[in-house]
């Protein structure tokens, strides 16, 4: 007798089965290639949770081995606030609660240690919803609104969030944007005629990421989360820099003539961005200063430069002499005692370049300090 290989229905583990949805839409799966959920089947069954106790009667039971609950392919109509989903794996689900105006709104829920794969969160207002230690894989946030929500220690992978908005919401901008690459995984097969190519989508996604970064920055500023605000500012500046690089391609002779200047400005902006983490951190500048001073001390020791008429050559590595040499290098880097150094014409050029680098370092430090004072 042939073995029975049929996959068991997970909803056999629920006391109350999902109810069928009256289909009012044309497609049976997500037709939009720009979404992470492209090709995902729309749920045809619905589960309505009217009170917290419905978790135990209307959802499949937890597995005895993993103690986790699996919820596949349903639309969750969430009427009751204060429902806590914990250790639950949602697959190809939708979350919503239609109000009298036909708007989809989910409020007052908590998701703890949940995984969401191929889920559709777009087009819904999430109000005071908390996601804690959750994993989002190929989920679509497009058009979703998050108001007074929290994303705590969440991980995102290959999700999309075009036209999503965030207000008074705590979320790590770096983690969110890291998991929002262009959906090029939907553009590998031959495309129907007239659809944008993968290259066009990748170019469009530069502006999509810039808009999302601006939303995340503003949202974290509204709740005075300085850590996420700093990350948001860095991500916004990085997105803006990427947009400038994309626009660098010359399209006329006039643009070609300006290209070297524009490229130089972008290179300087990139240096400033990464040296200060978008104007939010002094740690890299302090490290850069320490390295520069060490290099200056070595160069002075192998040169014929004098400081206050004393040769800067280091004859031994006695502690007092090494400290003295580091003090000279610090004076040169900070451009405090520049006039005390002297040498031939070549040495003067090097001294001037070294002091100029120090002045540039001052400007970067001032930028970070101003940001911290006025943030």
The tokens for 255 are: 């643009």
Q: What are 329-372's pLDDT values in tens digits?
A: 888 888 887 788 888 777 788 888 888 888 888 888 888 888 77
Q: What are 270-305's pLDDT values in tens digits?
A: 888 888 888 888 888 899 889 988 988 888 888 888
Which residue, 153, 34, 152, 142, is CA-closest to 94? Answer: 142
Q: What are 62-99's pLDDT values in tens digits?
A: 988 989 999 999 999 888 888 999 999 999 999 876 65
Q: How far apart are the first and last CA of the chain?
A: 73
For residues 90 and 114, is the Cβ–Cβ distance under 8 A?
yes
Only one residue has tokens 């290209």, namely: 259
Which residues make up the CATH 2.160.20 domain(s) of the chain? 11-185+199-246
For residues 98 and 118, is the Cβ–Cβ distance under 8 A?
no
* CA 240 to mean position of chain CA atoms: 13
pLDDT at 273: 84
Q: d(Cα 283, Cα 223) in Å, to the nearest integer? A: 25
What are the residues whose beta carbons fall under 8 Å from the beta carbon of 357, sequence distance 6 or more?
292, 333
DSSP state of 120: B
The tokens for 26 are: 């044309």
- pTM score: 0.82
CATH number listed for the domain at residues 11-185+199-246: 2.160.20
- Report CA-CA distances (Å) from 334 to 2, 13, 109: 83, 71, 55
């Amino acid at each position: 007798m042939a073995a029975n290989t049929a996959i068991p229905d997970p909803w056999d583990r629920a006391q109350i089965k999902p109810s069928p949805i009256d289909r009012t839409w044309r497609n049976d799966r997500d037709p939009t290639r720009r979404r992470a959920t492209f090709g995902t089947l729309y749920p045809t069954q619905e589960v309505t949770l009217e009170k917290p106790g419905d978790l135990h009667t209307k959802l499949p039971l937890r597995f005895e081995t993993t103690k986790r609950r699996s919820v596949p392919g349903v639309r969750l109509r969430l009427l009751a606030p204060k429902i806590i989903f914990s250790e639950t794996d949602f697959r190809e689900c939708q979350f919503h609660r239609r109000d009298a105006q036909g708007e989809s709104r989910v409020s007052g829920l908590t998701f703890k240690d949940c995984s969401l794969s191929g889920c559709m969160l777009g087009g819904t207002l999430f109000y005071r919803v908390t996601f804690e230690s959750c994993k989002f894989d190929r989920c679509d946030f497009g058009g979703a609104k998050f108001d007074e929500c929290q994303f705590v220690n969440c991980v995102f992978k290959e999700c999309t969030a075009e036209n999503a908005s965030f207000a008074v919401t705590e979320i790590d901008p770096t983690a969110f944007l890291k998991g929002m690459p262009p959906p090029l995984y939907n553009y590998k097969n031959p495309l129907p005629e007239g659809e944008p190519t993968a290259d066009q989508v990748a170019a469009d996604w530069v502006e999509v990421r810039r808009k999302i970064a601006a939303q995340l920055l503003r949202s974290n500023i509204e709740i005075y989360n300085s850590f996420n605000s700093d990350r948001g500012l860095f991500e916004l500046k990085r997105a803006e820099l990427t947009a400038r690089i994309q626009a660098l391609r010359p399209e006329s002779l006039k643009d070609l003539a300006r290209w070297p200047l524009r490229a130089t400005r972008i290179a300087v902006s990139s240096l400033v961005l990464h040296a200060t983490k978008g104007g939010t951190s002094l740690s890299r500048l302090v490290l850069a200063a320490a390295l520069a001073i060490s290099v200056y001390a070595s160069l002075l020791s192998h040169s014929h430069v004098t400081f206050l008429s004393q040769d800067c050559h280091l004859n031994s590595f006695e502690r007092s002499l090494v400290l003295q040499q580091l003090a000279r290098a610090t004076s040169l880097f900070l451009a405090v005692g520049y006039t005390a150094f002297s040498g031939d014409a070549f040495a003067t050029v090097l001294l001037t370049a070294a002091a100029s680098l120090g002045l540039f370092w001052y400007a970067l430090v001032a930028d970070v300090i101003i940001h911290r004072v006025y943030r």
